[in-house]
């Protein structure tokens, strides 16, 4: 049946609202997950007082940030100072628009249910949007008129340039194998035999996955690569002069980027929404059970990736800045180039 423009617009608007709400809730409870897991790693409880098992802690933290006094230092450059957190959060939220989080299916009137927008260059769109996010950090440091904030933002810019190259190159092998930048095509190419054909195993992209993992830690400013906000050196880094909801927006952007990185890793290396045993229930068309299972597998893989994020934070100490830059340029970059050459040879002589 032909879909009118109004129906398409309303259906797309509904998906945007639902996905945004779910993503913001996921950000809130990812913070709780991290606090609980790090607490266990450090032999303490973590949040446990607000609600059963501390499950209402994110709501209390959100209310606290809304109600805190919003301080703006007198010496800041106000237009960019206010714009910076908006840029960071907007870029973190927009990238979720091209991520398919379930098997392509027919929703009402043949409108796709599990993706806001199917873009043929979806991977390129994600890389472009996440790269722009560094402008929020750079502008925050410069407009704060604070030397510690400026040093933090400069560190973040140099860090992003270093690791963005390695991250982009690590994905070339996956793109060569799939022959497409479309995220759906990349997942479907891995779905033939389940875990045996996932890129990290059957596609021989385990080196690319390691490079992607390391670069993702640096890209999202997470331990052990959280140098832009190193408390011992820069007090708080680029967000030193921010408070209340402006600080919370930077905080939300960081965790939203973590979720996006987990989604991209799941799609490119871990078979996306497919189960480890392949498709056991037939095509998803008119099969609600299989559709829901595909979303379950996708969410489970992203959760495992986030668990790894937190585990690394609670285990490894922070690097020095010179170690961070050396690791990116002297090790990850050459390794990513070797992976491209190896993948090309393997595809040529397979």
Which structure tokens are listed for 62?
Answer: 């959100």
For 55, 71, 134, 212, the CA distances from 35, given in Å and listed in that order, are 11, 27, 26, 25
As a whole number of angstroms, the distance between CA 104 and CA 273 comes to 10
Lowest mean per-residue pLDDT among 34-43, 84-93, 98-107, 156-165? 98-107
What percent of the residues of the chain are helix, what percent strand, and what percent coil, each to the nearest 5?
Answer: 70, 0, 30
- For residue 66, the tally of other CB atoms under 10 A from its CB is 11
Please say if the pLDDT value at position 283 is more than 70.
no
What values do phi and psi take at 106, rounded to 5? Answer: -90, 110
Instruction: Read off the pLDDT band of 338 (50, 70, 90).
Output: very high
As a whole number of angstroms, the distance between CA 337 and CA 340 comes to 5
Which structure tokens are listed for 345?
Answer: 């040879």
Instruction: Read off the pLDDT band of 5 (50, 70, 90).
Output: confident
As a whole number of angstroms, the distance between CA 277 and CA 265 comes to 19
Q: Are 141 and 238 in contact (CB under 8 A)?
A: yes
Lowest mean per-residue pLDDT among 86-95, 107-116, 326-335? 107-116
As a whole number of angstroms, the distance between CA 29 and CA 34 comes to 8
pLDDT digits (tens, 9 = 90+) for 203-240: 678 899 999 999 988 888 887 887 766 655 656 678 88
- For residue 196, the tally of other CB atoms under 10 A from its CB is 14
Q: Report DSSP letters for 159-228, one per residue.
A: HHHHHHHHHHHHTHHHHHHHT-S-HHHHHHHH-SSGGGGSTTTTT--HHHHHHHHHHHHHHTT-TTS-GG
**What is the residue whose two structure tokens read 């690394």?**
312
pLDDT digits (tens, 9 = 90+) for 296-312: 999 999 999 999 989 99
As a whole number of angstroms, the distance between CA 294 and CA 316 comes to 33
Please say if the pLDDT value at position 105 is more than 90.
no
Please say if the pLDDT value at position 264 is more than 90.
yes
Find the mean pLDDT for residues 162-180. Answer: 90
Q: How does DSSP classify residue 116?
A: S
């Amino acid at each position: 049946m032909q879909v009118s423009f109004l129906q398409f617009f309303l259906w797309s608007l509904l998906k945007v609202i639902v996905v945004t709400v779910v993503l913001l809730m996921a950000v809130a409870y990812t913070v709780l997950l991290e606090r609980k897991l790090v607490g266990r790693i450090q032999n303490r409880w973590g949040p446990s007082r607000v609600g059963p098992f501390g499950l209402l802690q994110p709501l209390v933290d959100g209310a606290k940030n809304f109600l805190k006094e919003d301080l703006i230092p007198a010496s800041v450059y106000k237009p960019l100072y206010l714009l910076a957190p908006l840029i960071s959060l907007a870029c973190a939220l927009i990238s979720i628009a091209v991520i398919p989080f379930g098997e392509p299916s027919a929703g009402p009137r043949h409108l796709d249910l599990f993706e806001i927008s199917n873009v043929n260059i979806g991977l390129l769109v994600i890389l472009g949007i996440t790269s722009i996010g560094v402008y929020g950090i750079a502008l925050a440091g410069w407009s704060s008129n604070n030397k510690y904030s400026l040093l933090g933002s400069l560190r973040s810019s140099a860090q992003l340039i270093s690791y963005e190259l390695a991250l982009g190159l690590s994905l070339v092998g996956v793109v060569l194998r799939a022959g497409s930048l479309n995220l759906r095509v990349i997942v479907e190419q891995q779905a033939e035999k389940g875990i045996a054909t996932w890129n990290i195993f059957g596609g021989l992209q385990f080196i690319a996955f390691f490079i992607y993992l390391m670069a993702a830690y640096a890209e999202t400013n997470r331990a052990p690569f959280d140098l832009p906000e190193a408390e011992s050196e820069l007090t708080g880094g680029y967000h030193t002069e921010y408070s209340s909801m402006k600080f919370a927006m930077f905080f939300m952007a960081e965790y939203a980027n973590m979720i996006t990185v987990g989604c991209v890793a799941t799609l490119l290396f871990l078979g996306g929404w497919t189960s480890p045993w392949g498709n056991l229930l037939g095509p998803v068309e008119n099969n609600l059970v299989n559709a829901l299972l595909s979303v379950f597998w996708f969410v489970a893989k992203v959760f495992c990736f986030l668990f790894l994020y937190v585990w690394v934070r609670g285990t490894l100490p922070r690097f020095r800045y010179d170690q961070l830059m050396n690791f990116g340029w002297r090790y990850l970059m050459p390794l990513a180039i070797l992976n491209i050459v190896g993948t090309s040879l393997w595809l040529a002589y397979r």
